[in-house]
Amino acid sequence: MKVPSPLIPSKSHIAIHSSSTVLPKFLHAPHHKAPSPPTPTQLNDLLNTASQTRNIRHVTQIHAQITTNGCISIPSLLNRLLSLYAKCGHVDQSVALFSQASDGSKNVVTWTSLITQQSHANKPFKALALFNQMRRTGIYPNHFTFSAVLPACAETMVLSHGEQIHCLVIKHGFGCDIFVGSALVDMYAKCSRMDAAQKMFDEMPERNLVTWNSMVVGLLQNKFFDRAVLVFREVLKRDAVAPDEVTFSSALSACGNNGGSEFGRQVHGLVVKRNLMISSYVKNSLLDMYCKCGSLDDALRQFRTSGVRDVVTWNVMMMGFVHNDKFEEACHYLSFMRSEDVIPDEVSFSTALHATASISALSQGTSIHNQILKSGFVSSTCIGSALIMMYAKCGSLADATRAFEEIKGRTVVCWSAMITAFQQHGCADQAIKMFEDMLAEGTKPDYITLVSLLSACSHAGRIDKGYLYFNSMSKIYGINPGHEHYACMVDLLGRAGRLDEAKKLTESMPIKADSTVWGALLGACSNHRNLELGREAADRLFELQPDNPGNYVLLSNMYSREGRSKEADEVRRLMSVNGLKKEPGCSWVDIKNTTFVFTSHDRSHTMTCEIYEMLGQLEELVKKKGYVPQVQFAVNSIGEYKERNLWHHSERLALAFALLTLPNGAPVRIKKNLRTCGDCHTVMKFASDIYKREIVVRDVNRFHRFTEGQCTCGDYW
């Protein structure tokens, strides 16, 4: 017979049948004799037994025994029963039982138990409401109550909640309690108030391991990685405190994020010495540390010798490959994971999609999408946003839009991904409309959303719109503009030729301009041939990014275009003295799951003759359409070789090969590691009209989609 689980079980549900649980004799009395009623002690023993099995059927039947014998008003039994329902995962039944219990049966333990349950069930506002309700009944909180309600304050991330509870802590005399103090440190840290957390930590007369862990983890979460390492060093000096897996995992994460591989290796030695390598938590943190420090060989050694590898271990290794730009390896490890019967989760698929997006491997991304559909993760917003990003970066805006439309319960990450997709493809109007639609649905933008939105305005020349959104950041959305936002505004003004305004904005920023801001200004100076201001921006960049050859190349090219070859050679010489080399330009195209890479003047391909013959035909056709070569983009050539040099650019070689090998009418998708030149941009427009094809070129900055002789950028790029 199926046994229901009512909140207050009826008398017909009294009998308990369990082959695995030894029950008191009164529950097994023969049916022809009236069983003696159980005592509260016996019922308490029965609850103790049920707490080990955590079987909800047993709990409801014990509940029936307690109710029918009139013991539900005994606080100790009520408290145990509330706790048991929560341990069995039935928090709602626990709340309902609490609501029906008389006020006389509820004590501070009862209230604290329910507050704890709501906090653990990620219902912080309900926990706070219960805390206030308890106070209204005249029951005073104790140190356990405060330790239970403070995590709820941290979960809401509303600082005023925590500050009010802190005042009550002091008022009730628990300011020196070690458990309450640790909870306060944790609360302030999670509310991003590390100054208050540090003050609380320093004022505590006594600290235990939980206190130290709260401080280390708080510093880690707030990105104070060096300070987290310093606090960890202090823990090691304390004989009375033995660091555990949380301490070591946090320290390893801090080392990984600040690039401290040397100290990370020392922490590794301590982990081995203290026999903590048996903890998967520590092993995965160690793996992550080596990956983030760029020590992939050490990470792979740990991975291969780690014994049993769970899905988190595989995910960390895949993310390590992505972090170190080993995108193909990340995709391979998704296959290796499945071959070892480890089932990928949302993080696995999201990481693999990120890897395929980074190398624009559309066929591989589509294959992963098929696996996602079979695995049942299609409704995940995390994977949905990764799919949008993958399709967009692979040049298929239509598929990215379709992925967005299929997402239910869209988060700000999903909206931001779609806005970014439109921005990257030069569709500013759609990006702005998407932003307005997001606001209409009640979703608040975040830092990334506004970076993408401002970038869309920049690439479309929407100066008024850009200023409108920029000025609304702090006033309406409570987001202080960061370097990326200022870089977008400098780029916006610079593209429009308003270089003086761009410079003034750079100099008036409330935060010090970084390389992204000065880089935007240098790019604008290059486009508008303002050599004087460009030199100033380049000098700043040489200080901020001494190892970036791109800044030297850009300045050298500016001098060359102005005919100042002596200064251009001097910049190149300075670049050589600093041990820097220009990154060679290359373009690649995928044909039947194979990637073909071309460099400028490339003659290594087996179809070289056919490729150059196709280029010759293309040159004749575009000239008939009115093409005039823009020789200023052939900066390293002289005389008659300038035009010929343009026709041997890598993206044109890739285009010629794609026209030879792809079916008629199939879209051409070309990727380039540098910014495409203006003359190649013009040729691509003509080619899209001549061959009646969609041509998508993804360069280092954005996508250019050419159809019928036009580009989505509107020649404003």
Other beta carbons within 10 Å of 707: 16
Distance CA 179, CA 562 (A): 70
For residue 331, what are the CA distances in angstroms to 97, 160, 311, 349, 355?
Answer: 50, 45, 15, 9, 7
pLDDT, residue 1, reads: 36
Distance CA 332, CA 589 (A): 20
Query: What percentage of the chain has pLDDT greater than the value 90?
Result: 68
pLDDT, residue 640, reads: 55
Q: What is the pLDDT of residues 632-686, one digit of tens each?
A: 676 655 455 667 788 999 999 999 999 999 999 899 999 999 888 889 999 999 9
pLDDT, residue 74, reads: 79
Query: What percentage of the chain has pLDDT greater than the value 70?
Result: 93
Q: Which residue has the tokens 């052939």?
A: 634
Residue 22 pLDDT grade (very low, low, confident, very high; cuts 50, 70, 90): very low
- Locate the DSSP E strands across 578-641: 586-591, 594-599
Contact 618, 683 (CB under 8 A): yes
Of the candidates 14, 9, 15, the residue with the CA atom closest to the CA atom of residue 96: 9
pLDDT, residue 35, reads: 64
* Residue 368 identity: I
Q: What is the pLDDT of residues 467-482, one digit of tens each?
A: 999 999 999 999 999 9
Q: Helix (H, G, I), strand (E, B), or coil: what is residue 543?
A: helix
pLDDT, residue 12, reads: 39
Residue 27 pLDDT grade (very low, low, confident, very high; cuts 50, 70, 90): very low
Does residue 43 register a pLDDT over 80?
Answer: no
Q: Which run of H or of E encompasses 288?
A: helix 280-292
For residue 667, what are the CA distances in angstroms to 22, 588, 670?
Answer: 72, 14, 10
Q: Look at strands 668-672 and 594-599 and give their pairing.
A: unpaired
Q: Look at strands 586-591 and 668-672 and give their pairing.
A: antiparallel
- Residue 472 per-residue DSSP state: H
Contact 406, 384 (CB under 8 A): yes
Which one is predicted more confidently, 346 or 57?
346
Residue 95 pLDDT grade (very low, low, confident, very high; cuts 50, 70, 90): confident
Distance CA 165, CA 189 (A): 15
Which one is predicted more confidently, 478 or 96?
478
Q: What is the pLDDT of residues 387-423, one digit of tens each?
A: 999 999 998 999 999 999 999 889 999 999 999 999 9
Which of 50-59, 193-202, 421-430 is least confident?
A: 50-59
Contact 109, 141 (CB under 8 A): no
CA angle 539, 534, 582 (to 5 degrees): 70
Other beta carbons within 10 Å of 603: 12
Q: What is the pLDDT of residues 592-623, one digit of tens each?
A: 878 899 999 999 999 999 999 999 999 999 99
Q: Which run of H or of E encompasses 268?
A: helix 261-273
* Residue 563 identity: G
Residue 3 pLDDT grade (very low, low, confident, very high; cuts 50, 70, 90): very low
Q: Read off the pTM.
A: 0.79
Distance CA 96, CA 195 (A): 41
Q: Helix (H, G, I), strand (E, B), or coil: what is residue 336?
A: helix
Does residue 13 register a pLDDT over 80?
Answer: no
Query: Which domains are assigned to the chain?
Result: 481-578 (1.25.40.10), 586-711 (no CATH)
Contact 317, 291 (CB under 8 A): yes
Distance CA 42, CA 38 (A): 6
Of the candidates 537, 453, 452, 451, the residue with the CA atom closest to the CA atom of residue 494: 537
End-to-end, the C-alpha distance of the chain in Å comes to 73
pLDDT, residue 340, reads: 93
Residues 6+ apart with CB under 8 A from 73: 101, 102, 104, 105
For residue 658, what are the CA distances in angstroms to 94, 614, 683?
Answer: 66, 10, 15
Other beta carbons within 10 Å of 459: 26
CA angle 319, 414, 424 (to 5 degrees): 80
